[in-house]
Amino acid sequence: MSQAPFQKFTAKKKNSVVKEEYRQEKKKIRADKNAYFDNLKEEKYQAMLAKRALKAGGMAKTALVPASVTKAAAPAPKSTTPELTTEVVMPLNKFLAHCGVCSRRDAIALIADGKVKVNNAVMTEPGYKVQPTDEVIYNTKKLFVTKNLVYILLNKPKDYITTTEDPQGRRTVLQLIQKATDERVYPIGRLDRNTSGVLLLTNDGDLTQKLSHPSYEIKKIYEVKLDKNLSKTDFDKIVTGLTLEDGPIAVDSLAYADTKDKSIIGIEIHSGRNRIVRRIFEFLGYDVKGLDRVMYAGLTKKNVERSKWRYLSDKEIRVLKYMNETKKKKAVREITNPNAELTPEIEIKTITKAVDSPADKAPAKKKTDFVREPKVKQARKFKTHSEKKEFLKNQAKTKK
């Protein structure tokens, strides 16, 4: 017997119960999704460790070859050529950055302290050109240029220090990416302990130098939460520019992130000065309650939860490496040659033009101005389209 007629007597679930069930189901799906990607990262990490263990152990290739073949084949002679330290001659501080020891700026301090040896002699000159045959030792280990470059985007949470080591024992951002790589990576730029958001970590020294250099004008977008609403006068002051204790500062863009709540501000800036966003608002008498970096160099934290990370794609790496190249070239051109003179090719062209067109040559005749005749409106032959159709039909008959 059908139960359809009795459905009206059964108690229906409340809307709140249905919504809660849907919410719990959605939460479970999200947790399963995160667990899947965490397992995937763990598998990749274990595969990477196994691969490196194979390389370190030096597994013999002859184990996979049959015994009959190995007896016939003569043993290959071992190569006596030493492994090159670097393929390209470069300064010592740049070499340390490429080896993943630290950034170029920190490398200068290490070299000055006498912690780096070149060919068993302490080297204190950061500009020393490292040759491919040189032996560079730091911390009792021989260094080689890192060929396995790693690029990681981290959604940094609060209460983490943006540094490789902390003498006070506080938590660092490197603890969040322990499973990402075995290579020694370091952060590009800095985020305060109480600042969250996008942070890049890599062992690519050239990219770190580029993104940190002010001439490339790498843009950053922050979401700022203030203790009170930002007034219109202070809004205009920030847009026009302020003069802080370390010089003038101007923002690229400023807007209210929420039209109803004017204490949440979106700010775009390319300056890399220390705590610059906080100091802008503190200068006007505001207290910054929260600061989150939403975008850095065109990269966002989309689909990356707080304290999680992901690898950059090949396309994103290419974009970063060639970002704002025109600005850098223009800046270098203005600094090196502000009053550029004519090149020999341009001078030759101007001379040839002067020879081809001497002053005593008869001036060319001026062209007379062309005057367009006004169009005369003609009377329409046919009032309607059907008349025209009949006319063409009759004309075709007469031709036949």
Q: What are the residue boundaries of the structural domains of the chain, listed by start?
A: 90-142, 147-213+304-311, 219-296
pLDDT of residue 296: 93
- Pair 242, 280: CB distance under 8 Å: yes
239/381 Cα distance (integer angstroms): 67
Judge whether 90-142 and 147-213+304-311 match in fold: no
Q: Of 298, 306, 275, 300, whose CA–CA distance to 288 is shortest?
A: 275
| Kind and range of the H or E run holding 154 | strand 151-156
Q: Regarding the domain delimited by 147-213+304-311, which CATH topology (the fold level of the hierarchy) does it fall under?
A: Alpha-Beta Plaits (3.30.70)
Burial label, 92 (beta-carbon count in 10 A; 0-12, 13-18, 19+)? buried
pLDDT of residue 213: 83
| Kind and range of the H or E run holding 383 | none
Domain 219-296, classified CATH 3.30.2350.10, yes or no:
yes
> Which residue out of 192, 227, 234, 252 is catalytically annotated?
192
Segment 239-245 long-range contacts (CB within 8 Å, at least 24 positions apart): 242/280, 242/283, 242/284, 244/279, 244/280, 244/283
pLDDT of residue 4: 60
116/106 Cα distance (integer angstroms): 13
**Look-up of token digits 């207290």:** 287
Question: What are the start-end ranges of the H helices in the chain?
Answer: 15-57, 67-72, 92-98, 104-112, 205-212, 232-240, 276-283, 314-321, 325-336, 344-356, 385-399
pLDDT of residue 299: 93
Q: Which pLDDT tens digit goes with each residue over 20-40?
A: 888 888 888 888 888 888 888
pLDDT of residue 36: 86
Q: Which residues pair with 91 in a beta bridge?
A: 129
Could you count the other beta carbons within 10 Å of the beta carbon of residue 341? 7
pLDDT of residue 6: 59
Q: List C-alpha distances in Å: 131 to 5, 81, 86, 318.
A: 90, 16, 7, 28
CATH class of 90-142: alpha beta
Known catalytic membership, residue 236: no
Which parts of the chain register pLDDT below 50?
59-81, 332, 335, 338, 340-361
pLDDT of residue 352: 42
